[in-house]
Chain A
Amino acid sequence: MNREFIKSSVKWGVNNEGYFGDFGGAYIPEMLYPNVEELRKRYLDIIYEPGFQDEFQMLLRDYVGRPSPLFHAERLSAKYGTTLYLKREDLNHTGAHKINNTIGQILLAERLGKKRIIAETGAGQHGVATATVCALKGLECVVYMGEVDIARQAPNVARMKMMGAKVVPATSGSKTLKDATNEAMRDWINNPVDTHYIIGSVVGPHPYPDMVSRFQSIISEETKIQLKERTGSENPDIVMACVGGGSNAMGMFYHFLDDEDVRLIAVEAAGLGVNSGESAATTALGKEGVLHGSRSLLMQTEDGQVVEPYSISAGLDYPGIGPQHAHLFKENRGEYVSVTDEEAMIAGRLCAELEGIIPAIESAHALAHLEKMVFTGKESVVICLSGRGDKDLDTYMKYFNL
C-alpha cells in the first residue's frame, strides 16, 4: 500500500473530524448520513489500493491525455515583465480540469458497488465530465442543471445527452448551480442505497472537499515535476488560479501548501464589482455559515438566507467557497482577490491574441489579476488555465461584437 500517493498536508489538510481549522464538517440531515458515512469510512482505503492507483493513473494518461503541458507563455511574460507558465488543463479530454475528479470518483463508485451516478452542474463542464466517465464505465447518469443554465449552455446539454446522460432541470430557487446542487442532494436522499453523488468541486460534506482536492492534486504534482525539469527548481514564486467552489485552485495549490515561500493567489469573480450587489466574491462578501453540508464562508443575509451570486462566468457563479479555501483565507496562507467581468473578458481576449489560446472565462479571471500585480522581473508565476473557451464563444462574441 502506497500511503505516499496523494499525500495530505499535515498542517493544511483535513483533521479526523473532517475540519480544516474552523471549516468543513458534515452538516447533513440524517437521510444522507449513511451514504456520506460509507464514503468517509472507505474513501482513503479505496484510493490507497494499488489497483485503484494503477487504473486512475492509466486513465489519466491514456484517456484524459495527462500530463497536461506546462507552457511558458512568452508574449504574456514579456507584457507583464515576469516569467509566466500556464498549466494547460484546457487540453484535457472534455476541455477542463473537471475530469480529473470524475475519473477518481467513478472508480470509487465502482468499488463501492454503486450502479447509478448523479451530479450537479452549472456551466455544464462538470456535467459533461461526469457523463463522460459514466459512458466509459457503463453506469446510469443523471445530471441536475438549473433551468436557467440549461437555456444558456445548450451545447453542453447536448454533449451530456449524446453520451447517454439524463439532464434534469432544477426548477427551484434561482434555477442555477446552487439549486442544481440542492436537487442532486434531494435525489441522493431519495435513493440511499445504489447511488453515488459525484460532487464537482471542493464543497459539500466531509469527505468531499478532501477527496476532490486529492483527485485534483495531480495538477500541482505534475507542475512540480515539469518546473524542476525546466528550471531546476520545483517551486515557482507564485501560483494562481480562479475560484468558484475552488477545485482547480485546490488542485493547483495542493502540493505547494507546505512550501510556505510559494505565494498562493486565488482569484474570485467580482461580477459587476464587489460592492455592486451583482458579485460572487465570497471571501470579500461572505460570512461564516453552512451551505451544502459544510461550514465555510457563504454569501448570505443577516438572518442566514443564501444570497444569489452573479458572475458572467457560470463556473464561478456560486455563493460559497470550499472549506479548505476558507481556512487558507482566514489563516492568510492564500491571498484571495477578485476581478470583474470586464477585467476577465479583456484578459481572455488578450490571452487569445498574444498566445493563441482562448481560455474559459473562469480561467480568464486568474489571468486578469496579472494586470494588478507588480513584478520585479525575477518572479516565476504559474497560472492554472483550468478550461478552454470554446464553451464561452457565444459570450465572447456578444461581449466583443465579434
Chain B
Amino acid sequence: MNRLNRLFQNKKEPLLSIYFTAGYPHLDSTLDIAEAVEKAGADFIEIGFPYSDPLADGPVIQNSSHMALQNGMNLKVLFQQLKDLRKRISIPVLLMGYVNPLLQYGVKNFCDSCAAVGVDGVIVPDLPMYEYENLYKDNFIQNNLSNIFLVTPQTSEERIRKIDELSNGFIYLLSSSSTTGKNLTVSNEADAYFSRIRGMQLKNPTMIGFGISDIKSFNKAAEYTRGAIVGSAFVKFLDTENALERIPEFIRSIRP
C-alpha cells in the first residue's frame, strides 16, 4: 500500500491530478510547481521526464519536453532534484515518460531511485504489457510502485481485464484515441465507452485523462470515474505570466 492506494481508499470526492514536465519552464521549477500544485489542492501529481521523440504527445507537451531537454533535464538531474521531494510534498507523486530514457537509466535502477525519493507510481505509455510482465514487474513490486496502464475506447474487454489484473493503482482511461492536448468531446460514443468500463466492475479505480481542461470536462469525467488528470491545459498555463503564483486560480478553473 503506497500513498496512491491510500488516497483512492480514503478520499471519496472526485480526484484531480495535475501533469507537468520536469525542467519546464526552467530547469529548477520542478519542485516549486509541485509544491504550489499541492497547496492549491490537487490530489496527486504526475511529473513528466522528457524524451526527444514523444510520439503520443500533441504540440504543447512536445514543446515542454523539448524545452526541458534544452534546459538540461534528464533522469539523473530529476532524481537529484527529487531528493527533497518528501520534505516538501506529501501527496502522491507519479513519474511519466517514454521507455527509452528509462532503459538507458536501467529499469531496476529507475525503480530503486523512485523508491528512494518517495515516488509512488510510474506511467510509461510505450512500455508494452508483455515486457512489463515478463521482465520488469518484480522491480516495480519490490519498490512498492504502482504501474499505471492506459486504456482507449478501442481497447478490447479481454485486454482491459488483463490490464486490471496487472495494475495496482488506477487505470488511466483516455477520453478518446488521440495524442495529448485535444478537447474532451462529450459524445454519445464517449458516454457509452465510459459506461461500459464502469459496468465492468474492475478491481482498480479509474481516472480519465487527455482532453480535460475546464469544469465541464472535469465534472463529466467525475460522473463516470474517480476523477481526472489535467496535462496539456496546465502546461500551456505555465507559459503565462506569473503562472506559479496563479496556480490556485488554475485549479479553481477545473475544480472550484
Contact = CB atoms under 8 A, between A and B. Distances in A.
Interface residues of B, number: 41
Contact of A303 (B56, B101, B159, B182): B101
Pick the most buried of B55, B130, B131: most chain A CB atoms within 10 A of its CB. B55
B177 interface: yes
Pick the most buried of A172, A190, A304: most chain B CB atoms within 10 A of its CB. A304
A25 B155 contact: no
Contacts of B183: none
Interface string B95-135: 00011111111000000000000000000011110110000
Contact of B128 (A28, A289, A304): A28
B150 interface: yes
A303 B100 CA distance: 9
A305 B152 contact: no
A186 B54 CA distance: 10
Contact of A30 (B58, B100, B149, B182): B149
A140 to B, nearest CB: 19
B155 A173 contact: no
Contact of A173 (B53, B101, B174): B53
A27 B104 contact: no
Given A30-B125, A31-B178, A192-B177, A304 B55 contact: no
B76 interface: yes
B151 interface: yes
A190 B57 CA distance: 11
Given A192-B177, A305-B74, A306-B52, 10 more contacts: A27-B127, A31-B152, A31-B178, A33-B152, A172-B59, A189-B56, A290-B103, A302-B104, A303-B75, A304-B105
Nearest to B77: A303
Contact of A31 (B59, B104, B105, B174): B174
Nearest to B153: A192
B69 A305 contact: yes
A189 B101 contact: no
A187 to B, nearest CB: 9
A102 B54 CA distance: 27
Contacts of B130: 17, 25
B81 interface: no
14 contacts: A25-B131, A28-B128, A29-B55, A29-B126, A30-B150, A30-B151, A31-B56, A31-B152, A31-B174, A173-B52, A290-B103, A292-B53, A303-B105, A305-B52
Pick the most buried of B75, B76, B178: most chain A CB atoms within 10 A of its CB. B178
Interface in A168-188: 172-173, 178, 182, 185-186
A290 B54 CA distance: 12
Sorted from nearest, which 3 A-B pairs have the closest CB atoms? A304-B104, A304-B101, A303-B74
Interface string A1-43: 0000000000000000100000001111111011000000000
B217 interface: no
A130 interface: no
Contacts of B152: 30-31, 33-34, 192
Contacts of B62: 172
A300 B104 contact: yes
B9 interface: no
Contacts of A293: 126
A145 B210 CA distance: 27
B55 A182 contact: yes
Interface in B165-189: 174, 177-179, 182
B51 interface: yes
Contacts of B151: 30
B154 interface: yes
A27 B101 contact: no
Interface in B29-83: 51-56, 58-59, 62, 66, 69, 74-76
Interface in A272-294: 287-293
Interface string A315-337: 00000000000000000000000
Contacts of B155: 30, 33-34
Interface in A337-391: none
A143 B100 CA distance: 26
Contacts of A28: 126, 128
Contacts of B53: 173, 178, 182, 291-292, 306
Nearest to A171: B59
B104 A303 contact: yes
